[in-house]
Amino acid sequence: MSVAAKNYKLPADFLWGFATAAYQVEGGAQEGGRGPSIWDTFSHTPGKTHNGDTGDVAVDQFHLYKEDVQLLKSYGVKAYRISLSWSRIIPLGGRNDPVNPEGIQYYNNLINELLANGIAPFVTLYHWDLPQGLEDRYKGLLNTEEFALDFENYARVVFGAFGDRVKHWLTFNEPVVVATLGFSIGVFAPGRSSDRSRCQEGDSSTEPWRVGHSILIAHGKAYKVYKEEFKPTQKGVCGITLNGDWPEPYTQTPEDIEAAQRKNEFAISWYADPVYLSGDYPASMRQQLGDRLPYFTKEETALMKGSSDFYGMNHYTANYIKHRKTPAPLDDFIGNVDMTFTSTEGVDLGPECESFWLRPCAWGFRKLLNWIYKRYGYPIYVTENGCSIKGEQNLPVEEAVNDDFRVKYFQDYLDAMLLAIHEDGVVVKGYLGWSFLDNFEWAEGYATRFGVTHVDYKTLVRTPKKSAYAVKKWFEEHIEA
């Protein structure tokens, strides 16, 4: 820790804790009236996930939520970020479909348990698990009008059911991942791509941009519902959470500097510019994509602009970015750049993790906090940040809990955040580490662990790791009494 970071403090109301998502931890897939989601379908399709792993049981928070809340309490957290399973609340998903009272009751129980233990629920409406009923009915996110209307209805149901107690809302989690991994590469649900060796259906040149457009319109409608119908009495805040890595120029040539900026605009500004800035897409995207990128009507632009009370930020890593001299292929979604972890001097950004895309690089976090705050000017909640450890899944529990690699990651990143706040003037109001529990890591199944709590996937026994208490200690030392 730097001397400066050691002496800086966060305000007493700084919101910190850990995060999870429904399909990754909940389980109870066929219990309590829940309907299937696209991730149930995808994970049960042979060859789509590591080892054929599914979220049928996951880590069974559906049954073990009281135990989990007590564990969170022992970690000293002020907040716990969860997501709601849309198909647990409205099993078929649509605006004319019945609401499931058992689903409402489950989340009431979880929210009440958190509040009874002094933990604020930070709730995401959509963390990738679209009801399969809507995928079957009208191709889900590819049908902007229908999807937006059904999401608006779902949001209204949820705000009405839980908003008297939930004061922090997120509409969507990482829409860029939904659009690109689900509809360009095809490695996430619903698994669409132009690559016929991987997917039977899909058009990588157009579908990601249509899906992104659907998400933005749906977000705007949900935010409007909250602002006009619920916020005046419930007094909460509502936003969206976007992910982004720091793009460091490979060289200081104008071409690489511009390429790094373009990478940020494709990854972040695709969604952030319409919501926080202009109500429209970045010029760099329009220049590359032309009419493949949808257009907003004047009414939609007005709906988008200012449709968030804060900036939700998911961040894990950094890359060196090189300008690509050849024209962008039709399936490109990163701004026609090349990415590497290795500098011109042959030095890696950071050590390898289990996740191939992740290298610890805390200075990149500080730079991205600055870039986001300078461009958009909204207070930031860091809604995900964490790392996997290479080979951790092969360790016995007594070794896995000594996760010094993760301890260092969190300490370095938290120090970087503190310096961004105090030395750079960035406004950060909360931090939620990923993840509270080892869990179902989407296509990677149970082979990759991000948790500060070890989970034995056979017995579901939870064991705290060193990192859980290291994060607790860091916040105890840095939050004003």
pLDDT at 5: 65
441 annotated active-site: no
- Give the model confidence (pLDDT) of 332-350 as tens digits: 999 999 999 999 999 999 9
- Give the model confidence (pLDDT) of 60-93 as tens digits: 999 999 999 999 999 999 999 999 999 999 999 9
pLDDT at 481: 81
Catalytic residue among 135, 174, 248, 392: 174
Tell me how far apart the alpha carbons of residues 37 and 40 are, in angstroms, rounded to a whole number.
Answer: 5
> Is the CA virtual torsion 278, 283, 288, 292 positive or negative?
positive
CATH number at residue 280: 3.20.20.80
- Give the model confidence (pLDDT) of 9-51 as tens digits: 999 999 999 999 999 999 999 999 999 999 999 999 999 999 9
Full domain range(s) for residue 231: 3-478
pLDDT at 150: 99
* pLDDT at residue 200 greater than cutoff 70: yes
* pLDDT at residue 4 greater than cutoff 70: no
- Give the model confidence (pLDDT) of 245-272 as tens digits: 999 999 999 999 999 999 999 999 999 9
pLDDT at 1: 52
* pLDDT at residue 194 greater than cutoff 60: yes
Nearest to 129 by CA among 61, 51, 190: 190
pLDDT at 163: 98
When pLDDT is cut at 50, 70 and 90, the band that residue 7 belongs to is confident
Catalytic residue among 384, 392, 441, 444: 384
Tell me how far apart the alpha carbons of residues 387 and 391 are, in angstroms, rounded to a whole number.
Answer: 12
List C-alpha distances in Å: 339 to 263, 322, 351, 420: 10, 6, 16, 25
When pLDDT is cut at 50, 70 and 90, the band that residue 2 belongs to is low
Angle at 302 (CA atoms; ends 296, 297), nearest 5 degrees = 25
- Give the model confidence (pLDDT) of 386-414 as tens digits: 999 999 999 999 999 999 999 999 999 99
**Average pLDDT taken over every residue of the chain:** 97
384 annotated active-site: yes
Calculate mean pLDDT across residues 460-474: 98
pLDDT at 349: 96
Count the domains in the chain: 1
